[in-house]
Structure 1
Amino acid sequence: MRAIEVEDGESRPKLYGYWRSSTSYRIRIALNLKGLTYDYVPVNLKEGEQMGEAYRAINPHGTVPLLDTEEGQFTQSLAILDWLEVHYPTPSFLPKTNAALCRDLYYAVATEIHAPNNLPILKYLKSEFGADQAALEAWYQTWIHKTFAPVEARLAAHNWSGEDLPFGQPTLLEIVLIPQVYNARRWNTDLSMFPYIEKIDAACIDLDAFDKARPENQIDAS
């Protein structure tokens, strides 16, 4: 991969993340697709490091990912994707045709699933409502299905630009979709009713940018 060009005395961007964080996973894929190198700083969400004084001093939100650059610190994954696309436009995250549809599906996956299924929500359901593992899985699967079903329908109706990927190249859609497929499987979600989504996932497995970003390939994987 090519290194990010920096002036003498400048440091490379740092990505603070957690191996199983779906939003961190998004940014790892994106950085790899752009061919950029970066320093990775693990933040252990399981042990609550994100809420510690040291981390909150650099990220008051107490969340991951955080991309620390010479231009500032970015704490929202979608803002990071925007920043990468503006500053490193090649290769683009958007296809030359059907870009509007790509964006629409991207926002559906990126915004509808993560909010109800992120770690603080699951912890709250467990601590305040006594949700056991079966209840948590049912909750998680509900929100996966709610978004995957219409996305699948729209993929089925779309005239694909490539045999394996709907827009003929990895795009914003794949960047946010693949981490949610990973999470869906973690939470024992039946994906057999989503053959087009499974087709996209199978195609991305063979791409280096996605393989290197997989949770199990991170230095903090446990």
Structure 2
Amino acid sequence: MKLYSFFRSGTSHRLRIALNLKGLAPDYIPVDLRVDEQAQAPFKAVNPQGLVPALTLEDGQTLIQSPAIIEWLEERYPAPALLPKDPEARAKVRALAAIVGCDVHPINNRRILQYLGKRLGADEAALNAWCATWITAGFDAIEALLAKDRDRGDFCFGHSPTIADVYLIPQVESARRFKVDMAHWPLISSVDTACSQLPAFAKAAPLEQSDA
């Protein structure tokens, strides 16, 4: 397999975590978003949407969109499971992941920030404030949900990582990059600490990648 990734991309980060948790180590192919390599013809031939990550399988098929790839990983490589067995529990885990994947990350990603900066004249302080607004809204909700779960262990759900952690940890990394004070969310911070002690998360960190 070949993983097309950018070290600082949150979606790439979450997929790297999921691949590591499944014990998979595809060939790493960096795509440098800093020079818009994702918009150039060679990568557009891999993913016409021009976004990372993309995962090319051994048979030549290419999968795109991190939620779809992570769900594929769960179906194709079911152990260790990243979703609980109980349908209601699975829905709760998917909801935690979706707070990040649907409501926070999409409006804080590089394309949005470039538009705000280049087209609307937002400076760095304004961009950081924009990101902090939506990170805060999402993290407030996640923190409240974690507090309500009295059976939770060290992770977002249960006693082992799920896709909720896979999505959350890259967003924590992004929060720090945009100067958001994580002290507001002690439960999220404790999950981040627990995950950081696992090799699958540590090896996926942005600064551990070859293109960092």
Please tell me the residue identity of whatever aligns with 1:93: L
Partner of 1:3: none
Please tell me the residue identity of whatever aligns with 1:58: V
Equivalent residue of 2:35, what SS? coil
Equivalent residue of 2:4, what SS? strand
Establish whether residue 50 from structure 1 lines up as the match of residue 38 from structure 2.
yes
Equivalent residue of 1:40, what SS? strand
Please tell me the residue identity of whatever aligns with 1:197: I
Establish whether residue 219 from structure 1 lines up as the match of residue 207 from structure 2.
no
Equivalent residue of 1:15, what SS? strand
Match of 1:68 among 46, 56, 62: 56
CA contact (8 A) 1:159 1:166 kept: no
Partner of 2:102: 111
Query: Displacement, 1:71?
Result: 6.3
Please tell me the residue identity of whatever aligns with 1:156: A
Size of the aligned set, in residue pairs, is 209
Establish whether residue 85 from structure 1 lines up as the match of residue 78 from structure 2.
no
Closer, same or farther: CA 164–48 of 1 in aligned 2, 3 Å: closer
CA contact (8 A) 2:169 2:192 kept: yes
CA contact (8 A) 2:143 2:185 kept: yes
Identity of counterpart residues, as a percentage?
46
With 69-78 and 172-181 compared, the bigger mean Cα shift is at 69-78
How many angstroms apart in 1 are the aligned matches of 2:154 and 2:51? 37
CA contact (8 A) 1:17 1:43 kept: yes
How well do the aligned residues superpose, as a CA RMSD in angstroms?
1.2
CA contact (8 A) 2:154 2:194 kept: no
TM score, norm. by length of structure 2? 0.95
Please tell me the residue identity of whatever aligns with 2:184: M
CA contact (8 A) 1:29 1:209 kept: yes
CA contact (8 A) 1:29 1:210 kept: yes
Partner of 1:139: 130
TM score, norm. by length of structure 1? 0.91
Partner of 1:6: none
Closer, same or farther: CA 119–26 of 1 in aligned 2, 3 Å: same
CA contact (8 A) 1:22 1:183 kept: yes
Equivalent residue of 1:113, what SS? helix
Q: Please list, as runs of the form range in 1=range in 2, the aligned pairs for 1:1-222 lying within 5 A after superposition.
A: 13-69=1-57, 70=59, 72-96=61-85, 98-163=89-154, 165-221=156-212
Asked which structure has the greater CA Rg, the reply is: 1
How many angstroms apart in 1 are the aligned matches of 2:154 and 2:136? 25
